Structure 1
Amino acid sequence: MTGNYGNQRNRKNVLTNRHHFEVEVFNTVLDMQISEFGNRFNEVSTTLIENMSGLNPCESFSKFDTSKIVTFSEMYPNDFSNSERGCLLGDLTVFYHTVKEDDKFKNLGGMTDLARAMVETGTHKTFPLVYRVLKLALVLPVATTTVERCFSKMKLIKTDLRNRMGEEYLNNALLCAVEKESFLKVKEEDVMARFQAFKNRRGNIF
């Protein structure tokens, strides 16, 4: 009886620990990740990325979606006139049938390869509207990453203890934080020489 009771108790502890790690801990971490993704990628960014995926040339343009591409162009009203947007759908259809059977457009790894292939074959001149959409899609990740990086750095710099920080000081601090790679190339001697030249000092800081 004692042995059976001990086995049941150990089995209960195993189930309790398993429930703790697989349910409680896992669900908590999953909720945190979902919340973080929600904060990082808002609805507008998600819609942009989803529609941008219509330009994917992988697997012989099997994921090429003209409706998504047209919707993507509509999110840039200053880059396309109404007449250009009306012509875009027809250009995309002709472009799709033109490059699908072209050996130079096979085995492309992504939109960067597609843009490179269009320039090499001169297709960017034949389909300028399609190439314009492609350029906007290629610029989007860079712009989104830069903005997200700035907001992330701002949260680290402007804390509760620094909530009275002035705008000029905040801009300078953000510049140093965001462009850290560039500032690492600046020599300490150059910085000291600049501060030394600001005004006459009692001693040399070198």
Structure 2
Amino acid sequence: MEDEYVDPKNRRRKTNITNRHHYVVNNFNTVLDMQIQEYERRFNEVTTNLLMRMNCLSPCNSFSAFNKQNLLDLAGMYPYDFNIDEKDKLKYELGHYIYNMKDDTRFANLNGVGDLAKRMVETRKHIDYPLVYRLMKLSLVLPVATASVERSFSSMKHVKTDLRNRMGDGYMNDSCICFVERDLFQQVSVEDVMQRFQKMKSRRQQL
């Protein structure tokens, strides 16, 4: 690795760098910088704070990640789902919730927030702690919504090309839905689509 690096495209020219420098600096560090930039683009400061606060709901290691203030801040990120009175109630509800969860052996050895939410429904704890359960549902829905948005933007690259750059918003939305949910639309037969259009209005010819 300490030998001089030989450029395969021009073996006669001296590079004045070692093999270690080439593979570590020119290759490994470059790829690492690209990955860091991609992470920073996908997970900005707001998203990072949101994910860190969501982690406080995790039941792993006897709810070791639980942080009351972080969960209150998480509820503050959803102003349309928690009003001022509910935020005050959530503060007291979280205090009773964490002691109850740690003392109840039925909530031991859970793997994630999804398992915790299922166990709360099974034990009817979601009725005793409705605000905490609402916070769990929001945390579980967020990754799905984020992935759906990214899928939609990715599909736009295939739907709205240079040859179809003047389509209206309505037609583009319909086309994106067909592209994103193509597995579902593959179950619909052509005959059903033709009958659907035929029944929409009277036509001169039979489809």
TM interval, short-chain normalised: 0.7 to 0.9
Residues 182-197 of structure 1: matches in 2 within 5 Å? 182-191=184-193
Summarize deviations over 1:65-98 as a string: whole Å, max 9, x none: 1111111100111111212101212211111111
* 168 and 127 in structure 1: CA distance in 2 versus 1, 3 angstrom threshold: closer
Summarize deviations over 1:43-70 as a string: whole Å, max 9, x none: 3332221211110111111111111111
Provide the residue aligned with 1:74 in structure 2: 76
Match of 2:108 among 106, 109, 119: 106
Is the Cα contact below 8 Å between 1:40 and 1:148 reproduced in 2?
no
Give 1:89's aligned amino acid: K
Does 2:15 match 1:13? no
Is the Cα contact below 8 Å between 2:3 and 2:19 reproduced in 1?
no
- How far did residue 117 of structure 1 move? 1.4
Match of 1:33 among 26, 32, 35: 35
- How far did residue 133 of structure 1 move? 1.0
* 83 and 190 in structure 1: CA distance in 2 versus 1, 3 angstrom threshold: closer
Summarize deviations over 1:133-177 as a string: whole Å, max 9, x none: 111111111111111111121233334454333223311221111
Unaligned runs of 5+ in 1: 1-9
* 38 and 160 in structure 1: CA distance in 2 versus 1, 3 angstrom threshold: farther
SS at match of 1:11: coil
Summarize deviations over 1:2-44 as a string: whole Å, max 9, x none: xxxxxxxx92137634322322122222222223223333333
Does 2:143 match 1:151? no
Unaligned runs of 5+ in 2: 7-16
* 16 and 137 in structure 1: CA distance in 2 versus 1, 3 angstrom threshold: same
Summarize deviations over 1:176-197 as a string: whole Å, max 9, x none: 1111111121224444666788
Match of 1:173 among 175, 181, 188: 175
Higher helix residue share: 1
**Normalised by the size of structure 1, how large is the TM-score?**
0.81
Provide the residue aligned with 2:86 in structure 1: 84
Is the Cα contact below 8 Å between 2:5 and 2:22 reproduced in 1?
no
Greater mean alpha carbon deviation, residues 34-43 or residues 60-69: 34-43
Give 1:16's aligned amino acid: T
Matched positions, count? 194
**Normalised by the size of structure 2, how large is the TM-score?**
0.81
Identity %, equivalent residues: 51
